Chain A
Amino acid sequence: MLFNSVDFAIFLPIVFILYWFATGKNLKLQNILLLISSYFFYASWDYRFLFLLIFSTLLDFYTGIRIYIAKTILAKRIWLWLSIGVNLGFLGIFKYYNFFANSFVDGLAHLGMHASPWTLNVILPIGISFYTFHGLSYVIDIYKDKIVPTKNFVEYSVFVSFFPLLVAGPIERATHLLPQVQKERQFEYSKAVDGLRQILWGAFKKIVIADNCAKYVNMVFDNPSDYSGSTLALGALFFAFQIYCDFSGYSDIALGTARLFGIELLQNFAFPYFSRDIAEFWRRWHISLSSWFRDYLYIPLGGSQGNVWLKIRNTFIIFLASGFWHGANWTFIIWGAINSLYFLPLLVLNKNRTNLKIVAQGRYWPSVKEFLAIMATFCMTTFAWIFFRADSISQAKIYLSILFSTSLLTPPKLHGETLATIILVIIFIVIEWSGREQQYAFKRMGFKWPRLLRLVMYYSIILSILYFSGAEQQFIYFQF
């Protein structure tokens, strides 16, 4: 059940009405309803993997309690590593096994030895990377005495499986979400309206911007050798907007949906394409994942403490792990490595925390310096996205060799639809820029306008969503 599907448009109002009206606002009943709805939502993808989700939930719920009540450090460690081992084991089998098997055989082939890979014919359970990280953060936080485990299985299960975040995040923390699940929720008109606005904006980003960009992107990435360098450059540019609008659009719908149920999720994006350096970009892009890696991998490794080489090593590890988290393909690892290379100079020169404030705060326009810094950062990320989008390293190489050829100076392949997409992207950038001081760009848009004009704006957005909808397009991050 995709967020941009008719099924979800029916499912959400039903759950919403039951949640606020049929449960008598009883917390236990509301949580049970959320859990049943979330399992139904998940089972609608593939009911077989529901058992894996329930097993993973049970495991972390149980090990969390065992860690807490264990008398010795050794016992705590054993339970912690059992949870980590089983969770990462599942992730390894379903997501990475075939990659390791094939890479091992390829490696042997380079050494002149030949073997056939023993691969598994398995489908990747949707959302496994997300709910695994939910569970891991929970047990690690208990181990570090940051939280006390809940003894209520329903509450814990809602934390892991809450349907808005179940399949593509944001990756929540028990410290943030679990207290909300345990606390009585009151319906607030303004929050519910804000939730709907965020859902509307997320749907616009996904259906109007991302899916339109996707047409051109798919065309050029499917056969890069058929196109000129300029066409490939435009394809890479469109992909930068596709991936952003696709994923942040999903996050907006997730955050807006959760708000309808009185729950606040972590902000996942904060206008990353207005970043002035790559460090700022990574504080604004997929925030819940970046902060997860920071807290559960980077800091335990020593973080930015220690000598320069240790910092460099830790940065490399976190970026490679982040790349690898996205998928079992060398392209993602290279993408992570490129980003670490962008990041390292800032780290070494101690300039990775220079741009902490919102760009051009309180001003309409950025300064020339800020503008150039934004453009440079955007170009760097767009270059790295080519590896992220390519099917293989060899395809990325072909793409780059044509991109950086003389054909870059020829006019790109354009047709009516492409021009329309360019106009839509420009409109989108303007809205994003004007709303960059808010949680999401559309949050306060039109607040000071006359009521009629505001209605025209809402209906225009809805009609544009309806116009460009049709064949449902998967969200890119579902594959991770």
Chain B
Amino acid sequence: MNRFAKTVSIFMLPIFIMGIFVEFSLRIIPNDYLYKKKYLDKNSENIEVLFLGSSHAYYGINPIYIHENSFNASYISQTLDYDYRIIEKYEGRWERLRYIVIPISYFSLFSKLGETSEAWRIKNYNIYFGLKSSLDISDYFEVLSNKPEINIKRIESFYLLGEENITTSELGWGTNFNSQNGFNDDGEVAAKRHTKNLDGSFFKENINTLQALIKYAGKKGVKIIFYTPPAFHTYVENLDRKKIDQTINTMTQLDEYYQNVVYINFLADDLFTETDFYNADHLNEFGAEKLTRRIGDLLIDSR
């Protein structure tokens, strides 16, 4: 028995050492999550407007167009439960916070990060944001949550090619959905992809999260602005009408019920034209400026 334990331990040792080395190498690569966490650690006391949400906010909200001290803490595939976890993490440190701005996209009320194909991103919140958001041990290690070929590519691009993977501006806006790349009209495909697993099983849970967020904000005297982000007509036309109506009706009801809530729907807003889009459901830098300014005006109106 002892011989077996010894042989297996010696045999597995190089694999473990290699795993630890790769894990360490991956963790020291600078990334957007770590940047945002460090920014919030340092500046959360001074932030007046906090933007949260998924890629629709990450690429669609550039805080330099907001007069108040603001930061975009949204990220790709970030769902409402993670928005709430970020707020909770800095509990007691939001001294000057006046507004929380969250996009309610077509899929927002129906999805949870842990239940999507993007669930591998959970490790970023656990490792870099310091959230303990999962019971799965894989979600606490780089090597266990990504495919090895992706990890190898990351190591190669940072250590051998010297490439930085930071796509975030100083105030948290996503810079890589640029108009120079032209417009990719993937509306039908994107709408189908977003509709695929929209079965309603997380709807109630997400509403509870929203209500908890609203109540939390209410206690602190913080207003919450919810908005449905603009999208290109090819995307809007291919959405499940029932689901989008359910979203709009729910948000309108929350707006009417809670005094500290404002909801606005930009989904088919004429202000946004083809030149404002990077693809059918994401804005480029011009669209981001327009949307951010519109929200800035809304903040002034809702004072």
Contacts from A to B (Cβ < 8 Å)? 5-7, 10, 20-21, 187, 189, 192-193, 196, 458-459, 462, 466-471
With A458-B11, A459-B14, A471-B147 as contacts: A10 and B4 at CB distance below 8 Å: no
Once the chains bind, are B4 and A193 in contact (CB under 8 Å)?
yes
Docked-complex contact A187 and B138, CB < 8 angstroms: no
CA distance A471 to B149 in the complex (A): 12
Which 4 pairs show the lowest CB-CB distances between chains A and B? A470-B147, A467-B148, A6-B138, A187-B1
Which residues of A have CB within 8 Å of B15?
459, 462, 466
Most chain A CB within a 10 A radius of its CB, from B3, B4, B11, B14: B4
How many interface contacts (CB-CB < 8 Å) are there between A and B?
37
B135 to chain A, nearest CB (A): 10
B1-30 with Cβ < 8 A to chain A? 1, 3-4, 7-8, 11, 14-15
Chain A residues in 8 Å Cβ range of B144: 6
B interface residue count range (under 10 / 10 to 19 / 20 to 34 / 35 or more): 10 to 19
Tell me whether A6 and B148 are in contact in the complex, defined as CB-CB below 8 angstroms, given that A193-B4, A196-B8 are known contacts.
Answer: no
Chain B contacts of A459 at CB under 8 A?
14-15
Question: B4 touches which one: A7, A189, A462, A466 (CB < 8 A)?
Answer: A189
Please state if A187 and B4 are interface contacts (CB–CB under 8 Å).
yes
Residue numbers in A under 8 Å from B150 (CB-CB): 470
Residues of B within 8 A of A189 (CB): 1, 3-4
Contact A7 B137 (CB under 8 A): yes
Judge whether B137 and A6 touch: CB under 8 Å.
yes
Contacts of B8 in A (CB 8 A): 196
Q: What residues on B are CB-neighbors of A193 within 8 Å? A: 4, 7
Question: Is B184 an interface residue, CB under 8 A from the partner?
Answer: no
CA A187 – CA B148 in complex, angstroms? 35
Taking CB atoms, residues of chain A closer than 8 Å to B211 are: none
Q: How far is the CA of A21 from the CA of B1 in the complex (A)?
A: 9
Smallest CB separation, B25 vs chain A (Å)? 15
**Which residues on the A side are within 8 Å of B11 (C-beta)?**
458
Nearest CB of B to A471, in Å = 7
Asked if B275 lies at the interface with its beta carbon under 8 angstroms from chain A, I say no
Q: What's the Cα separation between A6 and B138 when bound, in Å?
A: 7
CA distance A456 to B87 in the complex (A): 50
Whether B146 sits at the interface, judged by CB under 8 Å, is: yes
State the Cβ distance, A194 to closest chain B Cβ, in Å.
11
> Would A192 and B137 count as touching, CB distance under 8 A?
no
User: Could you list 12 further interchain pairs (A-B, Cβ under 8 angstroms) beyond the known A193-B7, A470-B147?
Assistant: A6-B138, A21-B1, A187-B4, A193-B4, A458-B11, A459-B15, A462-B15, A467-B148, A468-B148, A469-B147, A470-B149, A471-B147
What CA separation (Å) do A180 and B240 show in the bound complex?
57
* Residue from the set B1, B120, B138, B150 with the largest chain A CB neighbour count within 10 Å: B1
B21 to chain A, nearest CB (A): 13
CB atoms of A467 and B149 under 8 A apart: yes
Chain A residues within an 8 Å CB radius of B3? 189
- Among A6, A193, A462, chain B packs the most CB atoms within 10 A around the CB of A6
Are A192 and B4 touching (Cβ within 8 A)? yes
Chain B neighbourhood of A467, CB < 8 A = 148-149
25 A-B contacts, Cβ less than 8 Å apart? A5-B138, A6-B144, A7-B138, A20-B1, A189-B3, A189-B4, A192-B4, A193-B4, A196-B8, A458-B11, A459-B14, A459-B15, A462-B15, A466-B15, A467-B148, A467-B149, A468-B148, A469-B147, A469-B148, A470-B146, A470-B147, A470-B148, A470-B149, A471-B120, A471-B147
- Cα of A466 to Cα of B11 in the assembled complex, Å: 15
A471 to B148, CA, bound (A): 10
Interface centre among A10, A466, A469 (most CB of B within 10 A): A466
Shortest distance from the beta carbon of B8 to any chain A beta carbon, whole Å: 7
A471: chain B residues at CB < 8 Å are 120, 147
Tell me the complex Cα distance, A6–B134, Å. 14
Identify the closest chain B residue to A193 (Cβ).
B4
Q: State how many angstroms separate the Cβ of B90 from the closest Cβ of chain A.
A: 30
State the CA gap A196–B7 with chains docked (Å). 12
Query: Which B residues between 132 and 170 are near A, CB-CB below 8 angstroms?
Result: 136-138, 144, 146-150
Q: How far is the CB of B6 from chain A (nearest CB, A)?
A: 11
User: CA separation between A470 and B150, bound complex, in Å?
Assistant: 10
B residues within 8 A CB of A6? 137-138, 144
Residues of A within 8 A of B148 (CB): 466-470
* Alpha-carbon gap, A10 to B3, bound state (A): 21
List of B residues within 8 angstroms of A470 by Cβ: 146-150
A466 to B23, CA, bound (A): 14
Taken together as a complex, chains A and B put the C-alpha atoms of A300 and B278 apart, in Å, by 68
Closest to B15 in A: A462
Which residue on B lies nearest to A455, using beta carbons? B11
Q: In the complex, which residues of chain B have a beta carbon less than 8 angstroms from the beta carbon of A187?
A: 1, 4
For A5, what are the chain B residues with a Cβ–Cβ distance below 8 Å? 138
Nearest Cβ distance between residue A231 and chain B, in whole angstroms?
22
Measured CA separation A158–B144 after assembly (Å): 32
Q: With A187-B1, A192-B4, A196-B8 in contact, is A10–B137 under 8 Å at CB?
A: yes
Within the complex, the shortest CB–CB distance from B193 to chain A, in Å, comes to 14
A2 to chain B, nearest CB (A): 12
Nearest Cβ in chain B — how far from A223, in angstroms?
Answer: 13
Determine the chain A residues whose CB is within 8 A of the CB of B120 once the complex forms. 471
Closest chain-B Cβ to A28's Cβ sits at a distance in Å of 20
CB nearest to A459 among chain B residues: B14
Instruction: Please give, as numbers and ranges, the residues of chain B lying within 8 Å of A10 by CB-CB distance.
Output: 137
Closest to B11 in A: A458
A467 and B1 alpha carbons, distance in the complex (Å): 31
Nearest B residue (CB) for A472: B138
With CB as the reference atom, state the residue of chain B lying closest to A467. B148
B279 to chain A, nearest CB (A): 23
Question: A468 — nearest CB in chain B belongs to which residue?
Answer: B148
Complex CA gap A329/B146 in Å reads: 35
Residues 109-145 (chain B) with a chain A CB within 8 angstroms: 120, 136-138, 144
A462 vs B12: C-alpha distance when bound (angstroms): 10
Give bound CA distance, A196 to B12, whole Å: 12
A30 nearest CB across to chain B (Å): 14
What A residues does B136 contact at CB under 8 A? 7
Task: List A contacts of B7 (CB < 8 A).
Answer: 193
Bound-complex Cα distance A471 to B118 (A): 11
The complex places the Cα of A7 from the Cα of B137 at a distance, in Å, of 7
User: Taking CB as reference atom, which chain A residue is nearest B152?
Assistant: A467
Complex contacts, B1 vs chain A, CB 8 Å:
20-21, 187, 189
Return chain B residues, CB-CB under 8 Å to A192: 4
Residue of B nearest to A471 (CB): B147
Chain B, Cβ-Cβ closest to A260: B4
* B8 closest partner in A (C-beta): A196
